[in-house]
């Protein structure tokens, strides 16, 4: 794991125990951590993910899954927003 990934995971981990206002400030860190977790999962052989999380992620497997799902949803929303804006611009022409 790179030091940048470790830093993002540590920042996001700290935010998970912070008050709600502080958690909002660290939402980007959770998205970044979720992205890194997704990248690592894609690199690992089938069946190795849970062991990797237990060895390298400071929080639970369930938290890792939540952050990955959050990142996937965020990416989907961004793609849908971009597609909607493009369609609106084309209709306006």
Write down the pLDDT at residue 21: 47
- Predicted TM-score of the model (pTM): 0.66
pLDDT in tens, 68-92: 999 999 999 999 988 888 888 888 8
Q: What is the DSSP letter of 45?
A: P
Please give the Cα distance from 69 to 75 (Å, whole number): 10
pLDDT in tens, 25-39: 556 788 989 999 999
Question: CA angle at residue 37 from 32 to 55, to 5 degrees?
Answer: 125
Q: Which residues contact 44 (CB under 8 A, 6 or more apart)?
A: 52
Mean pLDDT taken over the chain: 81
**Domain chopping of the chain, boundaries:** 3-92
Write down the pLDDT at residue 3: 62
Q: What are phi and psi of 59, to 5 degrees?
A: -115, -170
Please give the Cα distance from 11 to 30 (Å, whole number): 8
């Amino acid at each position: 794991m790179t030091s940048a990934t470790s830093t993002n995971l540590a920042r996001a981990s700290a935010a998970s125990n912070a008050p709600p206002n502080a958690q909002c400030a660290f939402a980007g860190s959770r998205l970044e951590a979720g992205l890194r977790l997704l990248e690592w999962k894609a690199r690992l052989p089938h069946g190795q993910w849970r062991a990797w999380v237990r060895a390298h992620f400071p929080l639970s497997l369930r938290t890792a899954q939540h952050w990955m799902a959050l990142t996937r949803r965020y990416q989907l929303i961004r793609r849908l927003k971009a597609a909607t804006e493009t369609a609106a611009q084309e209709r306006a022409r």
